[in-house]
Structure 1
Amino acid sequence: MRVMGVDPGLTRCGISMVEGGAGRTVRAIAVDVVRTPPELDLAQRLLRIADAAEDWMRAHRPEVVAIERVFAQHNVRTAMGTAQAGGVIALAAARRDIPVMFHTPSEVKAAVTGHGGADKKQVTAMVTRILGLAEPPKPADAADALALAICHCWRAPLIERMAAAEAQAERARRQYTQRLEQQRKAVRG
């Protein structure tokens, strides 16, 4: 599975591409950080991020895009910018019919380090180790983008099994409801 991991942000937006194989094997294909100057108009900053994401999607052809979900930040302005950057990337993926999955920071940290409260240094160290990189990816946004892609590669099978189980439960519920209705009609005669 080829996953594009995105650590959204207006000033620095981490983008990565990872190939997931059998079991928990993952291989880094590419990683970069898209930077936009704060003095640039917001719409132009978002356009630059969207253009970079579209270039990545065209060049690397991901099967899914994994974006960090904006969970909570103390600075509302930062949270808004992060959400907007993630939104334009999700839109670019949707235009190409590429599924988009959102993962919270704690899900990503737990998947990569085993602890949902890990700090950036721990995440970077584990990403470097998991991918067998010679050097830690810099800046942290690059490591976070790789961590998102790794997280999705490892969580996707569970997500698919959960969706299948939910669909099966819904079918069983509908069948039960239909049988109940048929029995009621038979009793009313």
Structure 2
Amino acid sequence: MRILGIDPGLRITGFGVIDKSGNHLAYVGSGCVKTSEGELPIRLKSILDNLGEVIVQYQPDQVAIEQVFVNINPKSTLLLGQARGAAICAAMLNNLKVSEYTALQIKQAVVGNGHARKNQVQEMVMRLLGLANCPNADAADALACAICHAHGGFGLGKIALGGYRMKRGRLV
């Protein structure tokens, strides 16, 4: 199975592609879609078009995307949500199944700590995929999202818990 992970952002949207064969994960590719400053509709179209090209190039079977978290600035949250919507539309235009994960779920699945720092996520992505170099933060987050999905995630709130249960976003 080939999984495309997406870390949505209005300025920079990270993407990462992995292959899963049994319990083995293999790095396929990663990068970032960068939008220029300008009108919002043009930036959203850029995300849609560029992720469409990524999908055509890598031919994923499924897509995993990070959920938007509500931060202090509601305007930023709304803009991020629109970027995320453009990314989901790119997947849906290519008839791909989309699963959603919170940042807490992704970090828990990849690092083992839902409150891990960016550099910890990058380091674990490097180790899990056997990469020689550390991917940039946005691509690493997207790869982490794909890894989360590959490790038994089935969408928001449905990570395979293996006898554990979720309490306040943590496995207990």
2:5 equivalent in structure 1: 5
- Matches of 2:82 and 2:70 in 1, distance apart? 14
- 2:99, 2:154 within 8 Å by CA — same for their partners in 1? no
Pick from 86, 89, 104 the counterpart of residue 87 of structure 2: 89
**Could you say which structure has the higher strand fraction?**
2
Q: Secondary structure at the match of 1:155?
A: coil
Q: In the comparison of the two structures, how many residue pairs are matched?
A: 159
Q: TM-score, normalised by structure 1?
A: 0.79
Cα deviation code 1:130-154 (max 9, x no counterpart)? 111111101x111101101111111
CA shift, 1:161, in A, is 7.9
Q: How does 1:101-112 map to 2 (within 5 A)?
A: 101-112=99-110
**Identity across the alignment (%):** 37
Cα deviation code 1:21-80 (max 9, x no counterpart)? 212x21111101111123x11000011110011001111111111110012222222212
Q: TM-score, normalised by structure 2?
A: 0.86
1:28 equivalent in structure 2: 27
Moved over 3 A (4+): 156-162
1:141 equivalent in structure 2: 138
1:127 equivalent in structure 2: 125
- Unpaired runs of 5+ residues, structure 2, are 162-172
Pick from 62, 75, 89 the counterpart of residue 64 of structure 1: 62
- Unpaired runs of 5+ residues, structure 1, are 163-189
Which structure has the greater CA radius of gyration? 1
- 2:152, 2:160 within 8 Å by CA — same for their partners in 1? no
RMSD: 1.9
Q: Secondary structure at the match of 2:142?
A: helix
CA shift, 1:157, in A, is 6.7
Q: Secondary structure at the match of 2:9?
A: coil
CA shift, 1:82, in A, is 1.6
Amino acid at match of 1:142: A
Q: Secondary structure at the match of 2:152?
A: helix
CA shift, 1:156, in A, is 3.8
- Matches of 2:12 and 2:106 in 1, distance apart? 19
Q: Secondary structure at the match of 1:133?
A: coil
**Could you say which structure has the higher helix fraction?**
1
Cα deviation code 1:138-188 (max 9, x no counterpart)? 1x11110110111111124795989xxxxxxxxxxxxxxxxxxxxxxxxxx
